[in-house]
Amino acid sequence: MVEKGVDIAPASGKLGILLVGLGAVSTTFVAGVEAIRKGTAKPIGSLTQMGTIRLGKRTENRCPKIKDFVPLADLDDIVFGAWDIFADSAYEAALHAGVLEKSLVEDLREQLESLKPMAAVFEQNYVKRLNGTNIKQGKSKMEFAEQLIADIAKFKEEKGCERLVIVWAASTEIFLEQSAVHQTLEAFEKGLYDDDPAIAPSMIYAYAAIKSKVPFANGAPNLSCDIPALTKLAEENGVPICGKDFKTGQTLMKTIIAPGLKSRMLGLEGWYSTNILGNRDGEVLDDPENFKTKEESKLSVLEHILQPEVYPELYKDFAHVVRINYYPPRGDNKEGWDSIDIFGWLGYKMQIKIDFLCRDSILAAPLCLDLALFLDLAQRAKMKGIQEWLSFYFKAPQTAPELYPEHDIFIQLMKLKNTLRHLQGEDLITHLGLEYYD
């Protein structure tokens, strides 16, 4: 065992989790935490709550729960806040989202009704299909940032929080590429004063978070904190950040299956993915400009896992198509189909079909919890800037600019757990294991 790990400040006092967007994912997350605290539900799908971590050699039988191994905030110490363009409380929003059974929502009515969203920074140009009324008024994007910074400070003070974390679970914005205004803090701040259209609301929230020294996770595919101006500011301010786009349904399956095909050197001719989805997220993504942001995030995964440049005979020019169709009858219960055309020995063709009847927000809610708890841990461990070890949770993980993202879920998990071992001064696990046969 290594002598000593990293000094981590204790998780004392309350942790405020501020959610941007109080829609299907956020309300399912908040209601879930409330139900778990009441003892009426279990935190299924959450690595921080249910996962274990092997320590030392296989013969040592040391395998604590992750939450007993690293000092994470306790669920009882979490306080929620939110911003949304609709003034509905979490109770009304949860009923509208229709993810959870009405009886469960009623059971938690008091807690959910007490969560009322603050007015949002919003411009319809970035989310075409939405139109709300709970929106801040201001003269410039810098003024909006200042209002958010004031909201953050007020929430912390009023709720008596020791620490905060912000998670973006708001709608996907239109596709934007990095441009000059995103490159340096000076250019970005000038852009805030000048109302530069390349600065989307999600970037204003990320800026406000990082300025306030609050860790920020981006659960949607929009750039948000994934721009040099903000990654640099995060490093300077000692703020851990991560994103983008929660890895939940179809992409989760893709990053489970593709590494397996590659490990057996099976070739891929094409992967066709389509979804039907009927919630508000589906409605927003029905607009081509918003869908483009999601499409880019979903498409990048296979290229990076399969490495066609390294294995041209197996993966050069495979076809990859991703579609999402807005289909109201399904609500949040997305159905994702994959038709995968593979080939094996001597080029003989085979097919795999997947029909994943998933529940989008049920898959995303535990990710919000884990990200909030791990980002808080990271800040107490003085980790700052991009937290690549949290790639496990994202479709388009944010990395240092010179690195390609690691999409293979098994490598991502190993990296996450080795980061925790490193923090606590335990040996990293390489799975070499020759010593068992010496």
Binding residues (CB under 6 A) for ligand NAD: these are: 20-26, 83-86, 97, 120-122, 127, 130, 132, 169-172, 201, 219-220, 245-246, 248-249, 279-281, 284, 360-361, 363-364
Nearer to ligand NAD, 91 or 315 (CB): 91
Nearer to ligand NAD, 218 or 387 (CB): 218
In angstroms, what is the minimal distance from the CB of 102 to ligand NAD? 17
Nearer to ligand NAD, 85 or 416 (CB): 85
3-state SS of the chain?
CCCCCCCCCCCCCEEEEEEECCCHHHHHHHHHHHHHHHCCCCCCCCHHHHCECCECCHHHCECCEHHHHCCCCCHHHEEEEEEECCCCCHHHHHHHHCCCCHHHHHHCHHHHHCCCCEEECCCHHHCCCCCCCCECCCCCHHHHHHHHHHHHHHHHHHHCEEEEEEEECCCCCCCCCCCHHHCCHHHHHHHHHCCCCCCCHHHHHHHHHHHCCCCEEECCCCCCCCCHHHHHHHHHHCCEEEECCECCCHHHHHHHHHHHHHHCCCEEEEEEEEEEECCHHHHHHCCHHHHHHHHHHHHHHHHHHHCCCCCHHHHCCCEEEEEEEECHHHCCCCEEEEEEEEECHHHCEEEEEEEEECCHHHHHHHHHHHHHHHHHHHHHCCCCEECHHHHHHECCCCCCCCCCCCCCHHHHHHHHHHHHHHHCCCCCCCCCCHHHHC
Nearer to ligand NAD, 77 or 123 (CB): 123
Spatial separation of the C-alpha atoms in residues 310 and 317, rounded to whole Å: 13
Nearer to ligand NAD, 281 or 426 (CB): 281
How many Cβ atoms sit within 10 Å of the Cβ of residue 15?
A: 21
In angstroms, what is the minimal distance from the CB of 196 to ligand NAD? 17
In angstroms, what is the minimal distance from the CB of 368 to ligand NAD? 9
Nearer to ligand NAD, 226 or 281 (CB): 281
In angstroms, what is the minimal distance from the CB of 148 to ligand NAD? 10
Spatial separation of the C-alpha atoms in residues 74 and 76, rounded to whole Å: 5
In DSSP terms, 5 is beta-bridged to none
The phi and psi torsions of 169 (rounded to 5 degrees) equal -130, 40
Nearer to ligand NAD, 69 or 394 (CB): 394
Nearer to ligand NAD, 250 or 424 (CB): 250
In angstroms, what is the minimal distance from the CB of 280 to ligand NAD? 3
10 Å CB burial of residue 327 (0-12, 13-18, 19+) is middle
In angstroms, what is the minimal distance from the CB of 414 to ligand NAD? 23
CB 180 within 8 A of CB 187: yes
172: its two tokens: 């996907």
Spatial separation of the C-alpha atoms in residues 366 and 43, rounded to whole Å: 7
In angstroms, what is the minimal distance from the CB of 21 to ligand NAD? 3
In angstroms, what is the minimal distance from the CB of 82 to ligand NAD? 8
Nearer to ligand NAD, 200 or 377 (CB): 200
Among residues 363, 364, 388, the alpha carbon closest in space to that of 378 is found at 388
Nearer to ligand NAD, 23 or 32 (CB): 23
Q: Which residue is nearest to ligand NAD (CB)?
A: 23
In angstroms, what is the minimal distance from the CB of 138 to ligand NAD? 13
Nearer to ligand NAD, 89 or 424 (CB): 89
In angstroms, what is the minimal distance from the CB of 106 to ligand NAD? 20
In angstroms, what is the minimal distance from the CB of 99 to ligand NAD? 8
